[in-house]
Amino acid sequence: MNSSIKQFCQSFTIPCGFTDAESQVYTNAAMIDILGMTAASSQVLDVFHAHEEVMRDKKLPLSLLSTLPGGDKPSPQPWRFDFFPRFDEKNVYQGAFFYAQPFLFLSLLEYIEGESPYTINLIQSDNRFSPRERRIIFFTLQRLNSKEVGKKLNLSHRTIENKLQSIYQTAGVHNCRQFINYCHDNGINRYLPPEFLPSGSHVISV
């Protein structure tokens, strides 16, 4: 990999890198910080190499959703990695350019309600609600009813309903609609209990 490509990558403040046709990898410091390990051993690049031939033949970007180990960070985080195939003037494959950004979430319901995509929060920022209550809140915000939440958490729907009344009282609201607004106002809707976060890297599109 020539020095001009390395200098180009190093000049970026966003996490990025290049691979060549022989699968050698170069990343800038920001990408190394995200990967939390040597680039060659990263699970992200393992998935990329497993799908590189398809990306090359289709001449289309490869996108991955990856939950990376925390390392010296407070918790794992979901990241989106986009790989773009590179070809020379003779249409010979030269490797890929790739970059990473925090994965943005948005449900269809949030979309039609005019919400903007957002990053999730895996750290409980206050102590108003217990970890058990946070799990109930998470599923309630996904519009699951008490029976559905109870099934997810192996609890009776009566237990969920009683817990929700206690949660409403803590929040100072009287019903689910008011509580949803309360969660949006306080950023609780962006909280994902860490135990629900999938591990590994998954292909989004190629």
SS (H, E, C) the chain: CCHHHHHHHHCCCCCEEEECCCCCEEECHHHHHHHCCCHHHCHHHHHHHHHHHHHHHHCCCEEEEEEECCCCCCCCEEEEEEEEEEECCCCCEEEEEEEEEECCECCHHHHHCCCCCECCECCCCCCCCCHHHHHHHHHHHCCCCHHHHHHHHCCCHHHHHHHHHHHHHHHCCCCHHHHHHHHHHCCHHHECCHHHCCCEEEEEEC
What local confidence, expressed as pLDDT, does residue 125 receive? 73
Q: Which of 138, 166, 172 is nearest to 152 (CA)?
A: 138
Q: How far apart are the first and last CA of the chain?
A: 25
Q: pTM score, two decimals?
A: 0.83
Q: What is the CA radius of gyration of the chain?
A: 21
Residue 46 near residue 38 (C-beta atoms within 8 A): no
pLDDT per position as a tens digit, 58-76: 999 999 999 876 445 556 7
Q: Which of 34, 196, 192 is nearest to 121 (CA)?
A: 192
What local confidence, expressed as pLDDT, does residue 198 receive? 85
What local confidence, expressed as pLDDT, does residue 174 receive? 94
What local confidence, expressed as pLDDT, does residue 67 receive? 86
What local confidence, expressed as pLDDT, does residue 40 receive? 42
What local confidence, expressed as pLDDT, does residue 71 receive? 46
What local confidence, expressed as pLDDT, does residue 72 receive? 52
Q: Which of 35, 84, 79 is nearest to 55 (CA)?
A: 84
For every one of its 206 residues, what pLDDT tens digit does the chain have, with 9 covering 90 and above?
Answer: 567 777 878 888 889 999 988 888 888 988 888 886 544 447 888 899 999 999 999 999 999 999 876 445 556 789 999 999 999 999 999 999 999 999 999 989 889 989 899 999 888 777 899 999 999 999 999 999 999 999 999 999 999 999 999 999 999 999 999 999 999 999 999 999 988 988 888 899 88
What local confidence, expressed as pLDDT, does residue 32 receive? 85
Long-range contacts of the stretch 175-178 (C-beta < 8 A, 24+): 176/140
Neighbours of 37 (CB within 10 A): 13
Residue 64 near residue 44 (C-beta atoms within 8 A): yes
Residue 200 one-letter amino acid = G
